[in-house]
Amino acid sequence: MSTGSRARKPSARLVESREHTEAIAIAAGKKRKAPAPPLPSRRTSLNAAEKDAAIQMQKITPEQARQVLAHNAEMQKAAAAQASAKRQQRKTNTAAKKTGETSPTSVARADALLAQELASVEEVEDEDVAAERPPLKKSKRASQLPPDVSDDEELAKGHGDAEEDDEVSVLGAADDLSAGIAVIEDDDGNGIEIIDLTPATPPKNTVREKRGKIGQTLFTPRTRHLLNNAKLFARARTATEEGYATDPSSAIIKDLYRTAERATGTEGEMRRGALQRLQQDIPLFEAGITYVGYSVTGVRSEMNSKAKDLLDPVYGVPGALSREGIVERVAWLSEGMNYLYGGLDLKAKKVDRNQPFMGPIIKPLISQVFFGKGKANSEARRAMVHEKVIPGNLLALVGSAVENALKAWSTGKNSETAISEDSGRESYMRHMADFVSLQEKAPRFTMQVQYKLLRAILSDTNKTHLLDGALICTPGALEGVDFAVLEASAKDVSDLENEDLD
């Protein structure tokens, strides 16, 4: 660039800008809206090679970059001020419409703000300095605006909306201008590099909105592994502890903790880490609770389905009975809970009332659901073998399933209506109360029923070794051991804490 002392002739664009400013001043005195600024002249389009060459020849110093940022910040403040004035004007006009008056200073205020904004624009260098800046690319959004709306008006409108929401301040908007620009000097100290620091990919929502069931593909492999193991504990809890939890979500959360705490070693660390990460994402954690909850309803539905399948071979419903015969048999079986008593004689319509919870349907139903080849109820099976009994909670669930299966035939025709949560809970609670009453009045007999039922089921499935292994020691394993001598030679752990062991 030459540095001669001769005064430079103003460019055509600068002359047009000054004429426009004078027109604004005249319009402000007459309270008329100023004419729109002249559109910049279109430059002749350059081919790709010429554009690349022009960009490579450009030199922008750090000081010029800071000036650009400062200028943009001032423009941003002016746009925000203009938007604030327009909002205030809208409020004033609204109030004036209500009172039938017009604000005398509305037009003057708007023209003054516009003149102030254009005055700040006029302070920019002449065309030679402006030509040193890289050309600005016209955004696609701006080309889609209505012809009577400029980019600055759209920008001011956006800032006005942000201020109304108390989310963006004027200073904050100015600071955001430099958020994606880094000034990096080259070896000569006269270059900059513009870096876009905005993430290329926005963060994804952890939980997708889905109308159907929550599937396991929603979770990561480790979280999925944790939840699938929690399903085993949820099924076991439903079968052995509480068929219908008072607070299902809290019960499932306990199942998740139990799943993580029971595991040891690397498996335990993996489960605990997955649970910790899952709890940090509340929507995903809630989805996980729902996903595990499917196992609770699943085990109850499976028992209801098996009970329906066993009605015919055990009770002859429907069998070869007529519709009237079905109604009559169902009514008799439902009377006094006859379906859960042993000594059943369908022809004579008799049961042994001294055999409660020993009905012929109980053993096959429990065996098929919990002691088959599947692994879904493996944790429930392990808990029963460990306790050496069929829990009373499971007997109550069996009674509820059989009762609901019989109700489906109460009209002589099978009803396919699903069992509601409230209906199932009421039936379960009633059968649970019956078992607790029997346990209180005949505890030893009740324990015998529970143990013998488990042993019979294990015998039918060739798994008696599980129970025998828990009750009977290996023959000769401790033969010849003097337990008294062992006890006399041993010390308490508290005495061994400060003693070195050989």
Task: Determine the Cα–Cα distance for residues 251 and 495; give it in Å rounded to an integer.
Answer: 42
146/278 same-domain check: no
335/461 same-domain check: yes
| Helix (H) or strand (E) segment spanning residue 434 | helix 421-441
Q: What total of structural domains would you count in the chain?
A: 2
**How many degrees, rounded to 5, is the angle at CA 361 between CA 357 and CA 364?**
115
449: its two tokens: 């029923």
Express each pLDDT in 80-122 by its tens digit.
888 887 887 777 766 655 555 445 555 555 556 555 554 544 4
309/387 same-domain check: yes
Mean predicted confidence (pLDDT) in 40-64? 54
Express each pLDDT in 338-368 by its tens digit.
999 999 999 999 999 999 999 999 999 999 9
294/416 same-domain check: yes
* 390 pLDDT above the threshold of 60: yes
Q: Is there a domain that residue 83 lies in? A: yes
Task: Determine the Cα–Cα distance for residues 461 and 454; give it in Å rounded to an integer.
Answer: 11
Q: Is there a domain that residue 192 lies in? A: no
What pLDDT score was predicted for residue 265? Answer: 93
Q: What is the DSSP string of 191-237?
A: --B----S-SSPPPPSS---SSPPPGGGS-HHHHHHHHHHHHHHHHH
Which region among 23-37, 61-75, 255-269, 395-409 has the lowest average model confidence (pLDDT)? 23-37
Q: Is there a domain that residue 377 lies in? A: yes
Q: Is there a domain that residue 324 lies in? A: yes
259/402 same-domain check: yes
264/406 same-domain check: yes
The answer to whether the CB of 237 falls within 8 A of the CB of 251 is yes
Q: Is there a domain that residue 49 lies in? A: no
Distances (CA, A) of 392 to 241, 434, 438, 464: 9, 10, 10, 21
* Three-class DSSP category at 341: strand
What pLDDT score was predicted for residue 30? Answer: 52
357/466 same-domain check: yes
Q: What are phi and psi of 276, to 5 degrees?
A: -65, -45
What pLDDT score was predicted for residue 116? Answer: 57
Q: Is there a domain that residue 90 lies in? A: yes
The answer to whether the CB of 448 falls within 8 A of the CB of 417 is no
Containing structural domain, residue 113? 13-34+55-176
What pLDDT score was predicted for residue 84? Answer: 81
Query: Number of C-alpha atoms within 13 angstroms, CB side, residue 84?
Result: 12
Q: Is there a domain that residue 489 lies in? A: no
Task: Determine the Cα–Cα distance for residues 239 and 380; give it in Å rounded to an integer.
Answer: 7
The answer to whether the CB of 318 falls within 8 A of the CB of 312 is yes
218: its two tokens: 């929603």
pTM score, whole prediction: 0.55
Give the chain's length: 502
Express each pLDDT in 405-459 by its tens digit.
999 999 999 987 788 899 999 999 999 999 999 999 999 999 999 999 999 999 9
274/389 same-domain check: yes
Buried b (16+ CB within 10 A) or exposed e, 348-358: eeebeeeebbb
Output the CA torsion 314→315→317→322 (10° steps): 130
* Three-class DSSP category at 287: helix
Q: H-type helices in 100-165, by residue range? A: 106-122, 127-131, 140-143, 151-164
259: its two tokens: 């799943």
What pLDDT score was predicted for residue 47? Answer: 56
Which region among 56-70, 254-268, 286-300, 318-332 has the lowest average model confidence (pLDDT)? 56-70
Mean predicted confidence (pLDDT) in 372-400? 95
338/407 same-domain check: yes
Task: Determine the Cα–Cα distance for residues 299 and 376; give it in Å rounded to an integer.
Answer: 9
157/245 same-domain check: no
49: its two tokens: 């090679």
The answer to whether the CB of 190 falls within 8 A of the CB of 64 is no
Peptide bond into 318 cis (omega under 30): yes
Express each pLDDT in 1-34 by its tens digit.
444 455 567 777 777 777 777 777 766 665 455 5
Note the maximum CA span of the chain: 128
181: its two tokens: 């620009």
The answer to whether the CB of 397 falls within 8 A of the CB of 428 is yes
What residues does 193 pair with on adjacent strands?
Answer: 182
Rg (CA), the chain: 42
What residues does 350 pair with on adjacent strands?
Answer: 345
Share of the chain above pLDDT 90, in %: 47
Q: Report residue 18 CA to chain centroid gap.
A: 59
344: its two tokens: 């059943």
Other CB atoms within a 10 A radius of the CB of residue 293 amount to: 19
Average pLDDT, the chain: 76
What pLDDT score was predicted for residue 99? Answer: 54
293/439 same-domain check: yes
Distances (CA, A) of 57 to 82, 130, 136, 442: 38, 15, 16, 100
Express each pLDDT in 123-156 by its tens digit.
444 444 344 444 444 444 444 444 443 334 343 4
Q: Band of the pLDDT at 59, cuts 50, 70, 90?
A: low
- One-letter amino acid of 331: A
263/149 same-domain check: no
Q: Is there a domain that residue 493 lies in? A: no
